[in-house]
């Protein structure tokens, strides 16, 4: 067992050294300062990267697969009259088969898009509008990605009724509540597989069975799940699935949408044009990006179990170190039904933005990259019942394929150091240490 982990660690070190040698990382001084001042902190090179839910670095093997189609093979894959088009069309179809193989689908059921946001828009709006004459009810959850929620709100403006299911305190939906919400008017249930903020895995197979029994289409946003956990669209009764390239070590600007053919799922296209991609997504397919997504899917299928063990090992190491040294740290989301590479922690009596500023030599996030400009607390954390002060004190740690043990240890040590320092500056923390019940205090208004 030890020799296996030693080999695994060695592989990761070699990879990270390769990235650093090409300018994608730096060597750091891991010493501690006696007196801290954020103004005196000098960042030597680029920060460590622990924000894998926002995006992932491109796997060098993916870039190798893409390079010929960025240089020599530049034909339009939709040109049918010459070799330039034929060779790129062949590459696109190979990539389509690679994506399909990862999720247990037929290649003809895979549609290339610009990413998961577009795939989600096509799914929600496309199903809603196509079947909207007879069915005007859609079900989703309060913790979905913003593009799903906004698509549902757009349909509400068109006269649709949308049910936003609440989630339990662990982030999971109640299957009983979902079953109660389905009516004869329901055309679609859209529930994400793995949450992008707290990493919770929904019971997708159970949801799929229920939707099939009720004759309702089931869409899942699997951007954070594809290539990371085993998925099979047929066994799980999934009718539509959204996929993102840059979340699985592929290029940005490419994604895919799985649309079931048997029984056929009809979707109204939201983009007009030349009718490419079965008429569902007009526009020239970018061959280099499609090839990159296909290569990323093939690598993910081959190394999924290996990567998952690495995530489990590193996430346990990170949490063990933090929980051993810091009291009043809360993990948000279900500790069992979750993807180990996404860890969301709330540090009581510490402002999350202050902690992020102090940890400027580590790239972390306080929530979704799509809503990080907002000063409002995360709507996902509020949906699971997190108090506003704890929601403001949350940090998301995103561990990826190329994260090393040294990076996790360094992040844990810096996190412990700065949480301790910030708490020492907090009068609320001082009151708690003295035994004062903060929740019982009635603060006066000024």
Catalytic residue list: 370
The DSSP bridge pattern shows strands 329-331 and 255-259 to be unpaired
Distance in angstroms (rounded) separating the CA atoms of residues 226 and 249: 11
H/E element, 164? strand 161-165
d(CA 273, CA 425): 59
DSSP state of 418: H
Ordered strands of the 394-398 beta sheet: 329-331, 342-347, 394-398
Distances (CA, A) of 259 to 220, 256, 428: 11, 10, 52
For residues 126 and 120, what is the distance between their CA atoms, to the nearest angstrom? 9
Cα(198)–Cα(340) distance, integer angstroms: 10
Could you give the count of Cα atoms lying within 13 Å of 81 in the half-sphere of its Cβ?
0
Q: What is the DSSP string of 201-242?
A: BP-HHHHHHHHHHHT-EEEEE-TTTTTTS---TTTTT-SEEE
What distance in Å separates the CA atoms of residue 438 and residue 410, rounded to the nearest whole number? 32
| CA dihedral sign, ordered 384, 115, 55, 335 | positive
């Amino acid at each position: 067992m030890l020799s296996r982990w030693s080999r695994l660690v060695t592989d990761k070190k070699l990879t990270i050294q390769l990235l650093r040698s090409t300018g994608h990382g730096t060597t750091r001084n891991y010493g501690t300062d006696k007196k801290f001042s954020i103004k005196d902190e000098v960042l030597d090179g680029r920060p460590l990267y622990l924000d894998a839910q926002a995006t992932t670095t491109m796997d060098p093997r993916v870039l190798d697969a893409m390079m010929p189609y960025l240089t020599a093979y530049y034909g339009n894959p939709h040109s049918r009259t010459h070799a330039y088009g034929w060779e790129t069309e062949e590459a696109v179809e190979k990539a389509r088969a690679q994506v399909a193989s990862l999720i247990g689908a037929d290649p003809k059921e895979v549609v290339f898009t610009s990413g998961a946001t577009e795939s989600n828009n096509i799914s929600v709006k496309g199903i809603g509008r196509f079947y909207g004459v007879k069915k005007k009810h859609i079900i989703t959850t309060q913790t979905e990605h913003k593009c799903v929620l906004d698509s549902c709100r757009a349909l509400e403006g068109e006269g649709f009724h949308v049910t936003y299911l609440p989630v339990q305190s662990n982030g999971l939906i109640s299957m009983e509540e979902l079953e109660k919400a389905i009516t004869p008017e329901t055309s679609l249930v859209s529930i994400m597989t793995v949450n992008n903020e707290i990493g919770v895995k929904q019971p997708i197979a159970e949801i799929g069975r229920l939707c099939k029994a009720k004759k309702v289409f089931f869409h899942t946003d699997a951007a954070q799940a594809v290539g990371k956990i085993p998925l099979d669209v047929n066994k799980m009764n999934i009718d539509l699935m959204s996929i993102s390239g840059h979340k699985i070590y592929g290029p940005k600007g490419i994604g895919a949408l799985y649309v079931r053919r048997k029984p056929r799922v009809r979707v109204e296209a939201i983009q007009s044009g030349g009718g490419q991609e079965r008429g569902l997504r007009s526009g020239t397919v970018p061959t280099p990006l499609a090839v990159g997504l296909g290569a990323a899917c093939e690598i993910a299928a081959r190394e999924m179990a290996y990567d998952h063990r690495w995530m489990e090992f590193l996430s346990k190491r990170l949490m063990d170190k933090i929980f051993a040294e810091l009291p009043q740290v809360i993990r948000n989301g279900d500790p069992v039904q979750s993807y180990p590479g996404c860890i969301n922690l709330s540090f009581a009596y510490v402002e999350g933005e202050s902690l992020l500023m102090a940890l400027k030599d580590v790239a972390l996030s306080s929530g979704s990259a799509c809503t990080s400009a907002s000063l409002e607390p995360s709507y996902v954390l509020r949906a699971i019942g997190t108090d506003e002060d704890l929601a403001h004190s949350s940090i998301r740690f995103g561990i990826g394929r190329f994260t090393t043990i040294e990076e996790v240890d360094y992040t844990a040590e810096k996190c412990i150091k700065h949480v301790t320092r910030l708490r020492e500056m907090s009068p609320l923390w001082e009151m708690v240490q003295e035994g004062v019940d903060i929740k019982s205090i009635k603060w006066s208004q000024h």
